[in-house]
Structure formats: C-alpha cells, structure tokens
Structure 1
Amino acid sequence: MGHDEADRKMHRRQFVRLSGTVGATGVLGLVAAGVARADGGHSPEPPPPSPGTPGAAPCPTPSQLCGYPSDTGGRYDLWDRVQVCEGTKAGPPFPQCLRTTATYVILNGGSGSNHDYLLVPSCRISGIECPFIATANAPNYWLDAWLNAQPGQPGHVVYPHVGLGVNSADPAIRQQDQLHIHLAGIHSGIQTQLNNYDSAITNNPSNWPNQIVPIWGLTSTGAPAPRSYRVLHVANLNENLFTLLRDDVVRPTGSTMGAQILAVTPRLIGNGGFYVLNSEPGLPVPPGQPGGTGTVDFLLAYA
C-alpha cells in the first residue's frame, strides 16, 4: 500500500478514551430503513421508541477466529468496555455507555465530535472475519447502526452525510479486535462521486464483484486518497450485509472475509436506498484505476 494507508492511524483510534457514567438501556426495533436520510435527499421514517430489552441473543462459539470471552486488555480493551456497560465486569473508570441492549452497545468514539460513535456487539466477536456475523442467527448490526445514527438517538451523527463502516482484520489497520461499526460522517465529495457513477452501479448482488469504481477519499490530513471500491445499490438495510458480502463477493472471488472492508452511505438520488462500498488490498482493478484498501478511513469523517 502507499503512504496514504499509513494515515489511517488517526484520532478515531483513540476511542478507548471514554469517560462518564451514562448507562442508558433500550433497543431499537428492526424496522425497515428503505429510504435514505435527508442530507439533501429522502427522509426515513423516524425510528420507533425503544422497547424493552429482549432476551439474550445467540453468540458465536468461542474460537481463535471469533475470540474468547476471557480476552482482556490491549487489543481487547473495547470488549472490556462492553462488559463494563453490561455490568458483567468491574472497571473504573466507567465508560460512557450511550445505549446498552442485549445485542449491542453504543459508545462515543475518541474524537469528541458529534459525528463519531461506535456500535459494538454484546457478544465476543473479533471482527469481520468471525463467521457468526454472516449467519441467520446474527443480529442485523448494520440496520441497528443506521437507526442509532438518526436524530433523537444516542449515536446521532450530526454531519451533512452519514457514513457507516467496518475495517478489515489487518492488525496494522484495526487496532481493536472486537467488532465495531463506525457511525460517522462521510467525507465531502464522496456522495457526488457516487452520484456520478450511479447509472453504472448494480442493484444485483451477484454483479457486485464487477462494479469497481475509483473514489477519491481523504487522508487524516485532508490529502487526496484515491482507492477503488466495489459498489452496490440496496433499497434498504433489512438484509444482513455481512451475508451479502460473504455470498456474493468473498466466495465467488475466492477471497477471505478478514481482508474486506464495508461502508454504507445513503443514496441521495433516484429512488433512494443506500450505497454499499467494499474493498480489499488485493482488489483486482481495471487498468488505470487505483488499488483497493483495507481501511474505511479514507471515506469516513470522524472529527
């Protein structure tokens, strides 16, 4: 990778510096999110009031690939924080738990901005490489993340356009080995580029591997960071995007889940919905296009 990739180690990695004693509970219902947020486009139905927390959801069988509940400290600090939010682990200082449910916790990111939050599963899940997240038993973390990023919710992203993202398992990129979806802004200009490519972007998941477009993102210093991404239209977030990625990209291309990134942002033209962006360091690109990437940091704005 080029020198831009090194810039991924930005302020957002400091999310472990959490403080406060807010321990709100509740969970968002899995309602349809079929239209994009305003931000110049369509507005979704407002999320429903938080009902009571349901019973505990299934979790993956502990393994080297998915992690062990006993993992603690260092690269597992985020997992420690989740357990403190749930009250199953003592740990001063108490982190700022913005919402605690049976399936996930919402935390502040480390930038201190109002567009930097994290959705972290309540299960011990190392990251995108854990097979459980693509199974029928897994919660729909992407829909939960989108709903929590809306006005009135604890992870409300105050930014012109919302971006959600998950990094690859590359230890040089992902510094916390507990699955976390970033609720953030998306850099200025990304939506315009996606609009320009819109007519060439498929809504057929089986064609997703072939829809590779160059997107000029930004490094932490604001320098241009062109990378190539597979892009897909989806009408809503009702289907598990990890399952789509596994079945329609990873398996057909012979790649691995651990090498992948995923990012989601509203589609602000046509009939709305969402763009889903995927990339990996070894992405095979058309001649003249920039290479792939294992980080979402070139797309998302945290501070």
Structure 2
Amino acid sequence: MSGNKRADQMYRRQFVKLSGVAGAGGLLALAGADGGMADGGQTPEPSPPGPGGANCPTPSALCGFPSQSGGRYELWDKVQVCLGTRTAPATNCLRTTSDYVVLNGMPQNSHNFLLLPTCRVSGIECPFIATTAAPNYWLDAWINAQPGQPSHVVYPNIGLGVNSANTRDQDQLHIHLAGIHSGIQTQLNAYDSSITNNPANWRSQIVPIWGLTSTGMPAPRSYRVLHVSNLNTNLFMLLRDSVVGPTGANMADQALAVTPRLVGNGGFYLLNSEPALQTPPGQPGGTGTVDFLLAYT
C-alpha cells in the first residue's frame, strides 16, 4: 500500500473523532442513487488511472482535457506541480494524495483553502464527479478543514462551497474551504424546524438567506436547503438525483455549499442555488455562486 493511500485512510479515520466536535451527527450514510447523467446522455466510463493514480473521467468538453494550461486552467497547472509532472507555476502544496491536492486560496490567510481533484475535472458540470467511481471530495474537504490539518480553517464556523460554471474564474474543480458568515448560521438556525432531511423534498425546500457581498453589503438570495446527518454520501450525486434531474435543470448552473448544523442533533446543511431558481412570491432570486455565504477575507 502506498504512503498516499495510507494517509488517505488515516485522514478518514480521523473524521470519526472530528465529526463529533463539529456536530456532524452519526455516521449512517445517506443512500444516493447511481445512474446516468441527469441532464442528458450517458455517464462515461472512467478512464485508466490518471496522474495521481486515481480513476479519472474520459477527457471531454464537459470534463476538460489534461493538455489545457494557463489562464482559466492555472489551478490545473498547480495540481500537476503538486503531482510532480510540472515545475511551474510556483505552488505551495499543503497536501497531495492520489485523489486530491490542497492549496492556499487567494487571498492567502487562515480561512481560505482549496481542495482540487488530481484528475482533470473542469467543474460541477463534469458527470464523473456524480458517479460511484469518484472520490468523496466533500468529506475529504471537511476533514482537511479541521484542526491539526495544514488547511485548518480558523474561523468560528466552516463553510465549504463549489461555484457554478458561469460564476467561477478557474476551470478546474475546486472546493472552497473557508469560513461562513455568522449571520448565515443564525438564519439557518431560525429556519431549522422547517428544513427537510428528506432528499426527495430538497428541490422544494427554498429558504431566503441574506448573505454578504465582498464589500460587506447585504446580498439576499434564495437557496434550496437540506439537512443531512453526515457527509458520507456523494453530494454531487445527491444533488443530481434529488434536484437537477427532477427539475430539468443543468448541473453546470448549480452552486453547492456545506456548513455544520449547530442545533438539534447536529449534522450539516446543504445549500444549493442556481440563477433560474423558481422562488415563492416575495422571495429573492437564486444564484450560481457561494460567494455570498463564504468568508474568504
């Protein structure tokens, strides 16, 4: 067994202890259906092991091509630096495993980190990440945000997030490991009694949340919210099967954020939104970005 694989297993074992600290609840996995692409077509078979030794998607327009470089693909260049297949750009690799690497975000501080696949994966629109062949990137992100890790998020509460294809500025899947604005947790606590824990109802559980812009101004948007007991299931698959498929939406348009549930028996809130989100009268519209929820600076 390689050192990376042993390290992966060690980090996952640590989650059993760390999850209790953050109110992660029990470790019973939520069931998620495994099927074809919700937005049309067939789920491609994984290609042979990629640069990091992981199963990777077949190169395509949706998932990206390993040869892409520079500009919007700079994060992919940095992943390859961590894997030893490139020498530039200069990169501070906080952790490198067979499945993912962890980097500092920008601006660089103690609550702004990124987790990126070692596979070439453009973003949330790549069908591979919603299959059983994909690693559990969200659980990996949560573990890496905990105390004792190089990417420990030093903030009152942690927020993880992925932006939609149209709102991100880099075309390599990256989960933000950041703080979450305190007001978001307060609002979620207030709505808690009406937030569903049934994935089948996630698509209709729409909650208005007043987030913040980068300048600190209020940014009211609406989000679909689901309460889960843990992060053991593939959240991309859960989103595809519970929301995207049933509503006829596109995965590329989705933003997804995760933050601990601080009331009741703990667990996590999953917040999903898209620009075309149909909201009740009087509620603000949706969004394709998690930037109104997460604290990077």
- Could you say if the C-alpha distance between residues 220 and 33 of structure 1 is closer, same or farther in structure 2, counting changes exceeding 3 Å? farther
Structure 1 residue 35: Cα displacement: 7.9
Shift of 1:107: 0.1
Please say if 1:243 is aligned against 2:237: yes
Instruction: Identify the structure with the greater helix proportion.
Output: 2
* 2:119 corresponds to 1:123: yes
- 8 Å Cα contact 2:24-2:260 kept in structure 1: no
Residue 65 (structure 1) aligned with residue 62 (structure 2): yes
Give the percent of matched residue pairs that are identical in Structure 1 and Structure 2: 70
Find the aligned partners of 1:279 and 1:36 in 2 and give their Cα distance. 26
Paired position in structure 1 for 2:164: 168
Q: Partner letter of residue 133 of structure 2? A: N
1:95 alignment counterpart? 91
Is structure 2 residue 215 aligned with structure 1 residue 221?
Answer: yes
Q: Work out whether residues 36 and 268 of structure 1, in 8 Å CA contact, stay in contact via their aligned partners in 2.
A: no
Partners of 2:157 and 2:180 within 8 A in 1: yes
Query: How far 1:29 sits from its partner (Å)?
Result: 4.0
SS of 1:114's equivalent in the other structure is coil
Residues 1:30 and 2:27 are matched in the alignment:
no
1:36 and 1:266 in contact (8 A); partners too: no
Q: Matched residue of 2:188: which SS?
A: helix
Match for residue 136 of structure 1?
132
Distance 2:18 2:279 in 1: 31
User: 2:125 corresponds to which letter in structure 1?
Assistant: E
How far the C-alpha of 1:182 sits from its partner, in A, is 0.1
Letter matched to residue 208 of structure 1: W
Match 1:201 to one of 168, 192, 195: 195
Q: 1:178 pairs with 172, 175, 182, which one?
A: 172
CA contact 1:85–1:95 (8 Å) conserved in 2: yes
- C-alpha change, 1:168 and 1:278, in structure 2 (3 Å) is same
Normalising by structure 1, what TM-score? Answer: 0.84
How many matched pairs?
A: 266
Which blocks of at least 5 consecutive residues in structure 2 are unaligned?
A: 27-51
Superposition TM-score, scaled by structure 2 size: 0.86
Q: Deviations over 1:142-182 (max 9, x none)?
A: 00000000000011000001000000000xx2110000000
Do structure 1's residue 74 and structure 2's residue 55 form an aligned pair?
no
Q: Is the 8 A contact 2:102 2:115 kept in 1?
A: yes
**Secondary structure, aligned partner of 2:272:** strand
Letter in 2 for 1:164: L
SS for the counterpart of 1:276 is strand
Taking the aligned partners of 2:217 and 2:124, their CA distance within structure 1 comes to 28
- The counterpart of 2:275, out of the listed 273, 281, 285, is 281
RMSD after superposition: 1.9
Residues 15-48 of structure 1 deviation map (CA, whole Å, 9 limit, x = unaligned): xxxxxxxxx964354346698565xx63789xxx
Give CA deviations for 1:50-73 in whole Å, capped at 9, x if unaligned.
xxxxx8220000001100010101
Unmatched tracts of structure 1, length 5 or more? 1-23, 46-54
Distance change in 2, residues 1:34/1:273 (3 Å): farther
